[in-house]
Structure 1
Amino acid sequence: MERWEKLERKTAPAIAEDIQGPLSGIRVLLNGSVVAAPFAATMLSDFGAEVIALERPKVGGDTARAQKPQITEGEKHISGSWMQNARNKLSFTLETNFNKVPESKEIFLSLIKECDVWIENMVWIEKLGITDEMLMEVNPRLIICHVSGFGTPKFGGEERYLNRACYDPLAQAESGWCLLQGFPDKPPYYAQQYIGDYLSGLFAVNGILMALRVVEKTGKGQIIDSTLCESYMRVMDDNYTLWSQAGIQKQRQGIKQATYQPAGIFPTKDGKYINLGAYGKGAYEKVMKGFGFDLEKYSYEAAGGSEEALQSDLGKELDQKFADYFMEHDSKEAIDILIDNRIGAAVIKNCEDVMNEEHWKDRGDWVTYEDQTLGKEVTAFGFAPKMSETPGKVWRGAPRLGQDTEAVMKKLLGYSQEEIDAFKGRGIID
């Protein structure tokens, strides 16, 4: 009988016993790096799940630790991304090439026996000697969540596609999202800040929560396949239906709307920018009255409500009036008028602006906790969504590499100190 077969399930949380939240009692094992899969795990850990992040010690752990730019404290350094996204996790070091290190496989399967969810974005798991079928045999209640660029074979697809390397801008290109970004007279652009990684992480969380509900009802686990490309495709609004039904292919239009005004990004007197979208006749008339423009001369039908109106001499004249107005007023003057008239508009802000905004402060969006690598207090974004009875909570900052290896080995898997020391001596754990 294998060691994992003798294990009795230990109630979560077993390592950090003060973890609370709506997902308290759920244990998650993460084999992932950089953004998508780790973010999914963070969303679960922020709301009470006990998350064990498995990191390879010989390569320095999750590559997100080394992402630039780095925050430094003396000789210690760590990425801001790690500080934000790795909080509330346990760091467990293990060499995961099970074909070369059989003992690693035994430890890994023991972890699988103790977990409710396994999240991975390694893609090449079978090369390490891992299969979904093997894990389901160890733990029939297990929820397996694969996060990738193009998908896994179980759900179909061409092998050549499934084996392709992928990162966020490539997914934007493949999904059609990229074609819509930028200006019509310039090459397509792509959105910054790993939007697809975060989207696919959120879709993964959604699938996991639904699968947990099924486990409660049936006792049976299942496999989830969340991809960067399909996450973009799912939020493409009407693009595919317009194409399939009418042959309409949307194109990038820059910062202006083609069919109504005022809409777009306008520079202001104080060097800032306002993003404004006054869609529909009611909104149009509110803006015109708020700015004191002649609504009789520049009627919605003649100057603001259609592509023809915008391209007319009157429409172009009105567009220039809007541009002049913003350049004659600072951003606060203009935004106050827009907000007072309930027009959808916002000043384009930098991080300092956002973090100093009293509205977000009052909602408790900024939290402080101690980063475990630097040993210093950091400020980061808190929790979304907000929950009245079981809010998110930071019980610990992002962990040092291997910070919890011994605790997991002893408390969860039942290994002795002698066995742990032997594994460390052979470089299997750190």
Structure 2
Amino acid sequence: MTLTSPSLNGPLDGLKVVEMGQLIAGPFCGQLLGDMGAEVVKLEAPGVGDPMRHWGQGEVPTWWRVIARNKFSVAVDLRSAEGQQTARDLIAQADILIENFRPGTLEKWNLAPADLMAANPRLIVVRVSGYGQTGPYSSRAGFGGIGEAMGGWRAIVGEPDRAPSRMGVSIGDTLAATYGCMGALAALQARERTGRGQVVDSSLYESVLQVMESLIPEYAINGHKRTRTGSVLPKIAPSNVYPCADGEYLIGANQDAVFARLCTAMGRPELASDARYATHLARGDHQTELDGLVSDWTRTLKVQELENLMIEHAVPAGRVYDAEDMMADPHFAAREAIISVPDPVLGEVPMQNVFPRLSDTPGAVRRPAPLEVGQDTAEILSRWLGA
């Protein structure tokens, strides 16, 4: 699919957003709002711009093309009095301000949220930081990996006999950005009732903590500390990545009825009534040996052969995809999960579409990322400020 039609304005059409962040957390929040139709004006340091412009793999990094889509670039020196005044003027016209600097930075630049909201009472200020705007750690520098470690994620990711691992993507940053976006949407709803904006305080470590399931009560009530268990979820079996003759395949058959269907597919229907495997608790107690039985069977099959059997027997399962698999998969194509965005340097750039999908007012990629720092300065100052 090519670039989504600009006529699809999205549910946030008409909202104005000023993004003052850089790298991932603030800009991803801006991407989410822009994807849903908001007009996002990104303030960048003249000449230098956001370091994210240079992040990613390949001779021409492409990450910028995703995280900066649907945005306008305005060059502003926030360390100068003139630049600060320009920022204040733009923010006075905005519905939402996004920033992900260390707490106190806005205040140092004479852009304290209290002052900005005094001039624009309807303003919603999304502040994304490592540790939040308050507390003894608030002034510390914080990146996504640090938030993942403090929030509990890193301690449980990886193999048990190795050091804590990472997710493979900057999950702490994107979680904090997503919660910041969700907070902004909630604040917009509250503004409908009160007429006033507010501050949304989204920290990296708390955003990670929010998705840690029952980690805290398991320890507080039962004294259980979750540890690294690799690809296995303890006591949930069979549910693992299993080796095939030509690759790897994930199977999740831990429910009794599903496990019985898996046993039939394996040609071992008797396993479903075996006392060691007949119930969820029993399978959990015999997880290692059960995983061994399943692995011995999957090794005799190629991935496609195994997938055909899992579909035939209605067992939740799936390939472990990489980017090449995604771009070749018919389901991705049918749902237009990947679109192609025109780029003056690279031609067409495939990237993920806008999610989630709204039936009546879908979001869209309406414009590609700005390739030049400040390329939209004149247009935005004219349209927003009449300058």
User: 1:262, 1:304 within 8 Å by CA — same for their partners in 2?
Assistant: no
Structure 1 segment 9-158 matched on structure 2, within 5 A: 20-58=9-47, 60-72=48-60, 79-97=61-79, 101-123=80-102, 124-153=105-134, 157-158=135-136
Residues 328-376 of structure 1 show CA distances to partners (whole Å, capped at 9, x for unaligned) of 100111122123322221111111111111111101112122235x263
Distance 1:219 1:316 in 2: 58
- Secondary structure of residue in 1 paired with 2:299: helix
- For 1:185 and 1:307, how far apart are their aligned partners in 2? 26
Deviation at residue 414 of structure 1 after TM alignment: 2.1
- The answer to whether the 8 A contact 1:259-1:310 is kept is yes
Structure 1 segments unaligned to the other structure (5+ residues): 1-16, 73-78, 416-430
Question: Please, which of 210, 213, 216 is the counterpart of residue 240 of structure 1?
Answer: 216
Measure how far apart 1:266 and its partner are: 1.1
Per-residue deviation, 1:115: 0.4
Structure 2 CA distance, aligned partners of 1:115 and 1:283? 52
1:19, 1:50 within 8 Å by CA — same for their partners in 2? Answer: no
**Which residue of structure 2 aligns with residue 303 of structure 1?**
277
- What is the DSSP-based 3-state SS (H/G/I as helix, E as strand, rest coil) of the residue aligned with 1:44? helix
| SS of 1:57 mapped into structure 2 | coil
8 Å contact kept, 1:260–1:304: no
Does residue 1:188 correspond to 2:164, yes or no? yes
Once residues 323 and 17 of structure 2 are traced to their aligned partners in structure 1, the CA distance between those partners, rounded to angstroms, is 32
SS at match of 1:226: strand
- Which runs of 5 or more structure 2 residues have no equivalent in the other structure? 1-5
In 2, Cα distance between equivalents of 1:339 and 1:195:
31
Partner amino acid, structure 2, of 1:326: T
CA distance in 1 between counterparts of 2:42 and 2:87 reads 12
Query: In the alignment, what sits opposite 2:258?
Result: 283
Question: In percent, how many aligned pairs have the same letter?
Answer: 31
* Contact 2:97-2:124 at 8 Å conserved across structures: yes
Q: Residue 155 of structure 2 aligns to which amino acid in structure 1? A: L
One-letter identity of the residue aligned with 1:327: R
* Residues 19 and 333 (structure 1), Cα distance of their counterparts in 2 relative to 1, 3 Å cut: closer
Q: Which amino acid aligns with 1:336?
A: N
Q: Name the CA distance, whole Å, in 1 between partners of 2:376 and 2:316.
A: 48
Aligned AA (2:66): Q
Q: Secondary structure at the match of 1:146?
A: strand
Quote the residue 2:386 is aligned against.
414
Alpha-carbon offset, residue 188 of structure 1 = 1.9
Q: Is the 8 A contact 2:255 2:280 kept in 1?
A: no
SS at match of 2:213: coil
Cα RMSD between the aligned structures? 2.0
TM-score between the two structures when normalised by the length of structure 2:
0.92
Counterpart in the other structure of 1:327: 299
**Which secondary structure state, in structure 1, belongs to the residue aligned with residue 310 of structure 2?**
helix
> Which one of 398, 402, 405 corresponds to residue 374 of structure 2?
402
Residue 378, structure 1, aligned to residue 313, structure 2: no
Deviations 1:185-223 (A, max 9, x none): 222222121011111111111111111111122110100
Relative to the length of structure 1, the TM-score reads 0.83
Q: Report the alpha carbon displacement of residue 81 of structure 1 after superposing the two structures with TM.
A: 0.8
Higher RCO (Cα < 8 Å, 6 or more apart): 2
1:340 to 305, 308, 312: 312
1:280, distance to aligned residue in structure 2 (A): 2.2
Instruction: Give the Cα–Cα distance (whole angstroms) in 2 for the partners of residues 193 and 279 of structure 1.
Output: 28
Q: Deviations over 1:256-292 (max 9, x none)?
A: 343243221111111x111122112212111101111
Could you say which structure has the larger radius of gyration?
Answer: 1
Q: Is the 8 A contact 1:19 1:49 kept in 2?
A: no
Task: Please state whether the residue corresponding to 2:88 is helix, strand or coil.
Answer: helix
Q: Which residue of 2 aligns with 1:423?
A: none
Matches of 1:213 and 1:392, distance apart in 2: 19
Aligned residue type for 1:111? L
- Contact kept in structure 2, 1:260 and 1:305, CA below 8 Å: no
Give the drift of 1:412. Answer: 1.7
